[in-house]
Amino acid sequence: MTISKMFLNINGAVRMVVYEPDDNLANVLRQMGLTGTKVGCDAGQCGACSILLDGKVTRVCTRKMKSIKEFSKIITIEGIGTPTNLHPIQMAWIAYGGVQCGFCSPGFIVSTKGLLDTNSNPTRQEVRRWFQRHRNICRCTGYKPLVDAVMAAAQVMRGEMI
Ligand code: FES
């Protein structure tokens, strides 16, 4: 067994990460206590493990640690908001019924952050396409509440709604 270490910028703090090169980043983050990143399919197909890796929505259940560059910037759900300081996307998820079983919510919220960071005024169709492209799957909501939540969060983030 080979143990390696490197520094990563995780949610704004530089942290030393100890790993085996064949570990995937999802499991490493979870072992560090960042259990908001969920593992559903463990095969890159459901989006539950989505994080922002250097600004890009990335499914990390299939990202081996040996493919991660030192000092990469990682944003997990824990870096987006906290229970006492929710991000507008998280508030919209609650307000529009985006959370049912909740398992997919962190991946969807991180994916939405990635979308709104690059397109602050998406159409409903662009939101749906984004989720398809990033393979965010929800088995509870039928997606409409999620799209409603994204549209509302985008409005808040543009300063058009409080
Ligand atoms: Fe990574 Fe499903 S757990 S895509």
Here the ipTM equals: 0.98
Task: Classify 91 as helix, strand or coil.
Answer: helix
Q: For 51, how many CA atoms within 13 A lie in the half-sphere containing its CB?
A: 31
Ligand 1 center to residue 158 CA distance, Å?
30
* Residue 9 main-chain phi, psi, to 5 deg: -90, 105
Compute mean pLDDT per 10 residues along the chain, 162 residues long, and list them: 94 97 97 98 98 98 98 98 96 96 97 98 98 97 97 97 71
Which domains occur in the chain, in start order?
4-79 (3.10.20.30), 88-157 (1.10.150.120)
Task: Classify 28 as helix, strand or coil.
Answer: helix
pTM of the complete model = 0.96
Pocket test for ligand 1, best of 58, 59, 76, 137 (most atoms within 8 A of CB): 59
For residue 135, the ligand 1 atom closest to its alpha carbon is 4
Ligand 1 center to residue 105 CA distance, Å?
13
Please give the sequence-ordered ranges of beta strands (E in DSSP) within the chain, or none if there are none: 4-10, 13-19, 50-53, 56-59, 73-75
Ligand 1 center to residue 90 CA distance, Å?
21
For 141, the enclosing helix (H) or strand (E) is: none
d(CA 137, CA 140): 9
pLDDT for the residue 57: 98
